[in-house]
Structure 1
Amino acid sequence: MFIPLPSKATPQVKTHQFTQNAVDSQDLPVYGDGSNIREWIYLKNSCRAVDLALREKVVGEVYTIGSHAEKTNLEGTEAMLDAVGADDDLINFVEDRAGHDQRYALETEENRNTRLGTGIHVRKGSRTNRRTLLGLTMPAKDKPIPPSEWRTIVDNVPLVSVDLIVEHDDGVLLGKRENDPANGEWFVPGGTVLKNEARTEAVHRVAEEELGESVIIDEGLGTYEHFYDTSEIEGVDSKHYLATAYRCHLAHDEPTFSGDDQHSAFEVFHPPFNDLHPYVQQYLDDW
């Protein structure tokens, strides 16, 4: 299980410790030749699947929660290193332990038509842990804006953001939002632009953070104003975005999409586009 690093905890789980070691340029010990296979699933996605089964499924039915994301320990370690920008020479092969299981996996075929089997990229989860670790150790001037100051910003000024109209399989990739202001809606990937970050740079960062994939920008569609009468921030009852939309496509032919903290699922929508959020509909009309 791939576990997100809590903001006030000392890493004790392998994924936590490996991410910490990679950030600190310390060795990452790997048993044997690293060929042992594990099925990786993000803890929050596993919890989301349990909650979904409790709320929406049949009483007495048995559900298996898996990700179909099998990787060897070596592949998982290499993905973590790639996520934090560390070199493979940090890998330190150590003597294999006795009775080390060669493979763990779970058959979840019966759940293929449900939203239970949802995983997350190891690389993507490592980036999440890396941001937490850096937030704990970086200088104060470089840390994320404190919640109280962020609340003041959102309450008083519009947010500059980018939205990604990602083309895939002759359609457009949308994610089902798990947070306000578009909670429960199928929406395009997007996020705020950071200070000193070009909007095109923000597009690539958002794609990596939300999709775990790289994208190629095809064209800019212009800037749109979005007004919401709700917010995920306590004490703030509205949000205002100045969003620049970019049409882009995935850099890889066979991507693997997965849920994250902001999305319960991803799906490719094909024309005609109906019953979508008005702001998404506006993008697709211009697309």
Structure 2
Amino acid sequence: MFLHFEVFKCIVKNTPLISIDFLVKKENKFLLGKRINPPAKGDYFTIVGRIFKNETIQQAQKRILKEELSISINYNMEFIGVFGHFYEDSIFGNDISTHYVNLAYFVEINKLDINYLPFEQHTQYKLFYYENIIDNEKVHTYVKKTFKATKEKGII
């Protein structure tokens, strides 16, 4: 459910948002997109979306995968953990910070064609090896932390 601009602004200013991050693996590489909007504008980030009110986590997972990757097939997902993301800016500019409570999941999608992904949230998509994510200054710090935690748990 999309909220009226002023309502959403009030929510971002006063409460944390709950989001789902997907660490998408395709043939031993991981998909990241270069973000269009703040926060994290211009950085490579995982596939992510917020959970809407009255939406289950499973419904949000399906919706986000459909919106972000144009796929509507059910995939096996492995829960990685809960992460706090704190940004000094927001979609509303530098005077409102953003706080996310992030639920991270690992999912393998080998049939994904990155040449046909939507560009509403990202200017481009790239596939990275794990090592290139950790060492790349264009990959956001929170993404690196999530990947390191995933590696430490033996998921990747």
Q: Quick check: which has more Rg, 1 or 2?
A: 1
Instruction: State the match for 2:106 in structure 1.
Output: 247
1:218 CA displacement: 2.5
- State the match for 1:179 in structure 2: 37
CA distance in 2, matches of 1:242, 1:271: 24
Residue 195 of structure 1 corresponds to 53
Secondary structure at the counterpart of residue 172 of structure 1: strand
Q: Map of 1:1-287 to 2, 5 A cutoff?
A: 144-214=2-72, 216-234=75-93, 236-250=95-109, 253-256=111-114, 257-272=116-131, 273=133, 274-275=135-136, 276-287=139-150
CA distance in 1, matches of 2:30, 2:15: 30
Distance in 1 (alpha carbons) for counterparts of 2:66 and 2:33: 14
Per-residue deviation, 1:144: 2.7
**2:153 counterpart residue number:** none
CA 1:149/1:247 → structure 2, altered by over 3 Å: closer, same or farther? Answer: same
The CA RMSD measured in Å over matched residues stands at 1.8
Find the aligned partners of 1:254 and 1:228 in 2 and give their Cα distance.
30
The structural deviation recorded for 1:145 is 1.6
The letter for the 2-side match of 1:283 is T
Letter in 2 for 1:171: K
Distance 2:112 2:10 in 1: 42
SS at match of 1:163: strand
1:235, distance to aligned residue in structure 2 (A): 7.4
What's the offset of the Cα at 1:253? 2.0
Secondary structure of the residue aligned to 1:183 is: coil
Task: Please list every run of 5 or more consecutive structure 2 residues that lacks an aligned counterpart in the other structure.
Answer: 151-156
TM-score by length of 1: 0.47
User: What is the distance in 1 between the residues matched to 2:89 and 2:146?
Assistant: 21
Q: Distance in 2 between matches of 1:197 and 1:236?
A: 29
Size of the aligned set, in residue pairs, is: 144
Letter paired with 2:32: L
Cα contact 1:181–1:232 (8 A) shared by 2: yes
TM-score calculated relative to the size of structure 2? 0.84
The structure with more helix, counted as a fraction of residues: 1
Larger relative contact order (C-alpha < 8 A, sep ≥ 6)?
2
1:4-52 Cα offsets, whole Å, 9 max, x none, are xxxxxxxxxxxxxxxxxxxxxxxxxxxxxxxxxxxxxxxxxxxxxxxxx
Distance 1:271 1:160 in 2: 26
Q: 1:254 to 1:156 in 2, by over 3 A?
A: closer
CA contact (8 A) 1:163 1:246 kept: yes
Matched residue type, 2:54: N
Amino acid at match of 2:78: E
CA shift digits 1:40-71 (9 cap, x unpaired): xxxxxxxxxxxxxxxxxxxxxxxxxxxxxxxx
Offset at residue 195 of structure 1 (A): 1.3
1:203-230: per-residue Cα shift (whole Å, max 9, x none)?
Answer: 2211110111245133101110000001
Aligned partner of residue 210 in structure 1, secondary structure:
helix
* Change in 2 beyond 3 A, CA 1:153/1:284: same
Q: Matched residue of 1:195: which SS? A: coil
Q: What's the secondary structure of 2:113's corresponding residue? A: coil
Distance across 1 between alignment mates of 2:107 and 2:141:
20
- Which structure has the highest strand share of the two? 2
